[in-house]
Structure formats: C-alpha cells, structure tokens
Amino acid sequence: MAKKIGILTGGGDCPGLNAVIRAAVKSAINDYSYEVLGIEAGFEGLMVSAVKTLTMESIRGILPKGGTLLRTTNRGNPFEYPVTEEGGKRCEDRSGACLYNIERLGLEGIIVIGGDGTLKIAERFYEMGVPIVAVPKTIDNDLDATDYTFGFMTAVSVATDAVDRLHSTAESHNRVMILEVMGRNAGWIALYSGIAGGADIILIPEIPYDPQAIVDSIKSRQEEGSDFDLMVVAEGAKRVGGEEVYTDKVAKRLGGVAYQVATEISEHIDLETRVTVLGHLQRGGSPIPFDRLLATRYGKAAVDLVARGKFGRMVALRQDKIVDVPILSAISNPKYVDPSGQVVTTARSLGISFGEPTKG
Ligand code: F6P
C-alpha cells in the first residue's frame, strides 16, 4: 500500500503557497509514489478530519496563483482552540482530536507550511511524536534560519511598484508621500522596497525615528531643489521612546504609524503630506519568479525529508542551497534588520534618511 502523507498551510496566506503544494505533490507522486492528503484550513482541518486527496489533476494550473488551494487560518491553534459558549469565550485543548485523526488517516508524514505561529504548533506536535516537516512561509522574511522565506520578494515587488507610482504623483504635486508597508516587527519589506524604489526616507522598527530628523531631511532636500519626498514606513516603526501603533491593540494588529508620522511632521514643513497604506495587496496575487522557484525547491526538499524520516526539521535557504534545520531553531530566532549592516549602510551612502536623531 502507498505511504500516505499530509500537507497543510497555516497562518496568513502568502504568494507561493500553491507553488510549494504543487512541487510537494509532484515530487511525492513522481519520486516516491506516495498518496498525498491535503488538509484543509491548517490544523483546523486535522481536528475535524477535513482532507482531500491531491492528485496531479488537482494541482494543475496552481503554480502562478496567489492564496492557497488548501485554505488557511491564523486562529486555529488546536492547543488553545477558542470556543464561544453561553457566558463568554474560553479556550479548549483539541490536540487530542488531531492526534486521533493523524492515526486514523494513517499519515506517515505531515508537511506544515507556515510562519512562526504555525511552526510553534508544529513543533509541539513533533515533540508529541507526530512526524512533521516544516516549510517557512512569511512575507515578513523575519526567520533567522533561512536567507529568504518565499513570498517576501513578491511583497517587495508590490511595494516597489507602489513607490514608483507614488513618485510621479509626489513630484507633480510637490507632496510628501508616505507609504506604509507590512512586515510586523521587522523592517525588511520597507528597507528593500524603499531602496529599490528610490525612497528618500525609510522608517523601520530597528531604527526608532525622531520626527525632527525627518523634517530636517525634507528641508535639506528642498534646499537642494527637490520639493517632494518619498517615505516608506514599516508598520512596526516607532518613534524614539515611543511604541508601535496598532489598529487593534488586543489582537496586536499593527497599522497606522504612517498617519502618526504625517501628523508629527506636517506642521513643520511647507509641503502637503499624503498617506497610503498598502495592506494586503502585498500578500495577494501571483508570486514573482524568485518566489515560485524558491517555493518549488522548498516543496521538493520537504518531501525528501519525509522520505528520509528527518522529522522535526524545516527546509531553509542558505547561500543558495536548500538545507534543513531544527524547527525549534527557526521559531526561537527571529531575524531583524541590522542597523549597521551592509544594506542599511548602502542606503545611507545614497543619502537615504532613517529618521534617526542627529547626534550631539
Ligand atoms: O505576517 C504577515 C503579515 O502580513 C504581517 O506583515 C502583518 O502584520 C500581518 O500578517 C497581518 O495579518 P492579518 O492578515 O491577520 O491582518
């Protein structure tokens, strides 16, 4: 009888998820003659045994598609599953139902594609004896274990396109255009798209900003004859001595720091200021070729790990090679922008301001 493996996508969606699924299914069937079960909506599908067999037919045409064929959720932690009853909400441990279904379905390996939240759940199951292999996913690129997560470069490409489009309108109207991008507490998307789009100011969480430094930078460009500015702000950016800005503090949903920056600087400059929040446009749609390729390499490598019985491992990209690392190391080491690293130094040499307070 064919060995049966499962595959699921958890957490927020990300361009390239379908490319991983496609590569994993193709490699599982072509190289190992496995039967592949797609588990619906992350770990929630495991709780209720919502699975479907993935064949060559079912994955046809999904390579360029955004989102995930298997659907996903960032609310389905089986160890703390939220239930609403009379008298309010509480959390229930439903991991037992997952374990029961894994056994009943006869899964000899599960490929979990997710970001840090999903990988934490995966690691817990692995420690309970579940044969899990992980694939890192997030547009934020904030995992130290890998050079790049798939989806990041697509988000950078969307954000760069937005900077380009804002450029012409900023110049036509003599305005300061502020673009807020995603990335949670890491400034990668802002840094890369800001440099690629030729921004004048980039604000990232790793370098707290001083509104006066931003004002000074805008004025000094005006003195040089440029009456417009492009600013890219990471959603997790914060003022020196300040805190992150949330649209929902309880849910820890970041957003709105660009409006805060606009308010802080607009009284001190004689240019109009406008804000654009790019939001989920960065997550939706077709992955760029870099992400399709990376996702494909990850999907194939994950199946190889299952075949070799190397569980509790995550595929990662290091110096253009696909390697595997413990899932635990991936979830315990976030990756942030190094304020004195090469990319930031390059940006500084080009005259890009990070809004840092002037020394002295
Ligand atoms: O982690 C990916 C990400 O897109 C972050 O950049 C962003 O802060 C968050 O997810 C948004 O999550 P949601 O889709 O739940 O609003």
Q: What is the pLDDT of residues 165-210, one digit of tens each?
A: 999 999 999 999 999 999 999 999 999 999 999 999 999 999 999 9
Domain around 213:
153-283+338-349
Please, where are the H alpha helices in 174-210?
Answer: 188-196
CATH number of the domain enclosing 193? 3.40.50.460
pLDDT band with cut points at 50, 70 and 90 for residue 100: very high
The answer to the question of residue 245 being in a domain is yes
pLDDT tens, position by position, 72-98: 998 889 999 989 888 788 899 999 999
Q: Is 140 a catalytic residue?
A: yes
119's CB contacts (< 8 A; 6+ apart) are 112, 134, 136, 314, 327, 330, 331
198, 121: one domain? no
Total domains in the chain come to: 2
8 Å CB contact between 341 and 130: no
pLDDT for res 360: 63
Side chain identity at residue 46, one-letter code: L
CATH number of the domain enclosing 63? 3.40.50.450
Mean pLDDT across the chain, nearest whole number? Answer: 96
145, 162: one domain? no
- pTM (2 decimals)? 0.96
pLDDT for res 89: 86
* Phi (first) and psi of residue 167, to 5 degrees: -55, -50
CA of 184 relative to ligand 1 center, distance in Å: 7
The answer to the question of residue 356 being in a domain is no
124, 194: one domain? no
Q: Is the pLDDT of residue 101 over 70?
A: yes
The answer to the question of residue 67 being in a domain is yes
C-alpha to C-alpha distance for 1 and 179, rounded to whole angstroms: 55
pLDDT for res 297: 98
314, 271: one domain? no
- Residues having CB within 6 Å of any atom of ligand 1: 12, 74, 115, 138-140, 182-184, 235, 253-254, 283
C-alpha to C-alpha distance for 191 and 287, rounded to whole angstroms: 20
Strands (E), the chain: 4-9, 35-39, 51-54, 81-85, 88-92, 107-114, 132-136, 175-181, 201-203, 229-234, 246-248, 253-254, 272-277, 313-318, 321-326
The answer to the question of residue 158 being in a domain is yes
238, 89: one domain? no
The answer to the question of residue 274 being in a domain is yes
100, 59: one domain? yes
248, 307: one domain? no
Mean pLDDT of 110-133: 96
Residue with tokens 């130094």: 345
Mean pLDDT of 128-157: 96
pLDDT band with cut points at 50, 70 and 90 for residue 349: very high
pLDDT for res 76: 82
C-alpha to C-alpha distance for 154 and 290, rounded to whole angstroms: 8
The answer to the question of residue 354 being in a domain is no
Ligand 1, atom 8: nearest CA belongs to which residue?
184
Round to the nearest angstrom and report the end-to-end CA distance of the chain: 73
Mean pLDDT of 244-254: 95
Here the tokens at position 236 are: 């997790």
Number of neighbours of residue 146 by Cβ within 10 angstroms: 23
355's CB contacts (< 8 A; 6+ apart) are 201, 203, 207, 209, 210, 211, 213, 214, 217
pLDDT for res 88: 86
C-alpha to C-alpha distance for 46 and 356, rounded to whole angstroms: 48
* Residues forming beta bridges with residue 110, ordered by sequence position: 6, 132
The answer to the question of residue 251 being in a domain is yes
48, 108: one domain? yes
164, 22: one domain? no
pLDDT for res 172: 96
C-alpha to C-alpha distance for 53 and 25, rounded to whole angstroms: 10
185, 299: one domain? no
124, 11: one domain? yes
Share of the chain above pLDDT 90, in %: 94
The answer to the question of residue 328 being in a domain is no
CA of 76 relative to ligand 1 center, distance in Å: 15
Q: Which residues of 274-310 are buried (b: 16+ CB within 10 A; e: fewer)?
A: ebbbbeeebbebebbebbbebbbbbbbbbbbbbbeee
Residue with tokens 């600013």: 231
Q: In testing the pocket of ligand 1, which one of 119, 140, 154, 244 has its CB within 8 Å of the most ligand atoms? A: 140
177, 222: one domain? yes
Mean pLDDT of 324-332: 94
Ligand 1, atom 13: nearest CA belongs to which residue?
12
Here the tokens at position 159 are: 């954000």
